Structure 1
């Protein structure tokens, strides 16, 4: 299985915010630019004209543009970014320093803001990847999700310390993740 996943374009007005499932808008020109980039890549490499996108608008709207251009677009909740709970959408300086320190002290299992722990995010991404077909898949997603998929593709586990977390991929950057093909689904028993 090969996953070609692009990070969404730069969202509007998110400087210095804890950004997970908060759903800011994106400049329409940047959305069209990424859609064109994906379209050219797929044509050049003879890939299917089907895209999977996170339900958050910074990814979903790229899929909608491609859909209007004749692509099949699948909105997939499994591609949603990490859940930062009550931290999500807050400026980093407004988040209690003691909570951030607690997260850093227990990086793998602490649930920031009562949201989703890194261990939980890893399990979610791993399950999503395991369900993919052997054929190439194109997608638009988020930096945290993509980092997890990249680590899994490299055979790495959940980072235990914050310093081991990779830098985020750039906006509109392509990541290629290859894993073993998903196990075939057993046939269903015949109906009586």
Structure 2
């Protein structure tokens, strides 16, 4: 099964802000730029995170996109919309000590997110385009490689995030 993963365009948020599952808009110019870069995508079913930064792109690519909450970015609880610099160092250190199971800001752990991403992946039956977030992309890549949720979470937590906005990854 071929999957084409697309990261959403850059959202309207100041640099250095933890925004995870916060539902942010995308600047119209960013949306148009990403659409232009995706003009050669094949005609496949499109699944998308329901968060606006993904859903806006999905709606422009297809009138039949399917929005699935399991594709949303990780929920960072009380850390959402806080400057990374303002989050207490002890909390960041606690997360670094247990990247898989720690729930940043009391939100969601990477393991919990891996479970919902695995559940989504396991329902797929054909080649598909998936518009989502960097975290979801790393977890989908791990699931596509056959890893169970605990190993997906560990691999995603240990993989440096280097997925540009609006980029694609074909599995």
TM-score (norm 1): 0.79
TM-score (norm 2): 0.88
CA–CA separation in structure 2 for the residues paired with 1:9 and 1:161: 21
Match of 2:131, SS state, is strand
The within-5 A match list for 1:1-192 is: 1-42=1-42, 47-48=43-44, 50-67=45-62, 71-133=63-125, 135-156=126-147, 157=151, 158-159=153-154, 164-177=158-171
Count of paired positions: 167
* Per-residue deviation, 1:153: 2.3
Q: Does the 8 A contact of 1:147 with 1:168 survive in 2?
A: no
Q: Does the 8 A contact of 2:142 with 2:155 survive in 1?
A: no
Where has structure 1 moved over 6 Å in runs of 4 or more?
Answer: none
Tell me, which stretches of 5 or more residues in structure 2 are unaligned? none
CA–CA separation in structure 2 for the residues paired with 1:89 and 1:150: 27
* Per-residue deviation, 1:23: 1.9
Q: What are the Cα deviations for residues 113-149 of structure 1, in whole angstroms up to 9, with x where unaligned? A: 111111111111111100111x211121001111111
Q: What are the Cα deviations for residues 14-39 of structure 1, in whole angstroms up to 9, with x where unaligned? A: 31011211122211122133234334
For residues 160 and 5 of structure 1, do their structure 2 counterparts lie closer, same or farther at Cα, with a shift above 3 Å needed? closer
CA–CA separation in structure 1 for the residues paired with 2:33 and 2:100: 36
For residues 51 and 37 of structure 1, do their structure 2 counterparts lie closer, same or farther at Cα, with a shift above 3 Å needed? farther
CA–CA separation in structure 1 for the residues paired with 2:113 and 2:89: 23
For residues 168 and 115 of structure 1, do their structure 2 counterparts lie closer, same or farther at Cα, with a shift above 3 Å needed? farther
* Per-residue deviation, 1:150: 1.4
